Amino acid sequence: MNGEPSSLTPNVPRLPDSRFRRLCRWAIKRTGWRLVGELPNEKKLILIGAPHSSYWDGVYGLLMLQAIRLDLGVMIKREVLDGPLGPIVRWLRLIPIDRKAATNIVDQMVQRFDASDKLWLGITPEGTRKAVKQWKSGFLRIARATNVAIQPVFIDYPTKTFTLGPLVHATDDPEADMARIRAMFAGYHGKHRDA
């Protein structure tokens, strides 16, 4: 799947076509990045991508999302809205997270899922571009609270691919879930490190 929007099934939240999105299709083909696998026909989904080791992950990822017209709400720091990228962030429909709010991030996302007919939420489980020993568990807690499946996306720079893994459903054993999900990312290589 080279950035072609025809691969979106009826339940997948999609963006309208536009000149900008056609330009993104051209750009993603020029970069050589590909999306491997089929997007599931789900109205609600939590998409996790790793390894996240560079700002370029976001550039290529956003190009791909726009190219295939996938309406994915990617969580970002609220502070980004206050900078020069604020208007672009709003236009790209990224989801600003207020990390200092009285309600925690999991509660914010559960409320957003409850209020939405269709919502795909993108999260980098590492929570940073730096190497970490433990992933943030928020995506699992959101998945359990909303009964929404998790779609792993493996970022691999040597092959320039975003590969879709099998859907994962959270269980009552978050430690086992985390170990199982992390193991799925073995063998994939980010720009600066592995998952």
Q: Over the stretch 96-107, which tens digit does the pLDDT of each residue have?
A: 777 666 558 888
**The Cα angle at residue 109 between residues 48 and 4, in degrees rounded to 5:** 45
3 conformational bin, left if phi > 0, alpha if psi -120 to 50, beta if neither: left
- pLDDT at residue number 8: 80
Domain boundaries of the chain, sorted by first residue? 11-184
Distance CA 163, CA 160 (A): 10
Reported pTM: 0.87
Fold of 11-184: Rossmann fold (3.40.50)
- pLDDT at residue number 178: 95
Q: Over the stretch 158-194, which tens digit does the pLDDT of each residue have?
A: 999 999 999 999 999 999 999 999 999 999 988 876 7
- pLDDT at residue number 136: 85
- pLDDT at residue number 125: 82
Q: How far apart are the first and last CA of the chain?
A: 24
10-residue block means of pLDDT along the chain (195 residues)?
64 93 95 94 95 85 93 81 77 74 78 94 78 83 96 95 96 96 92 73
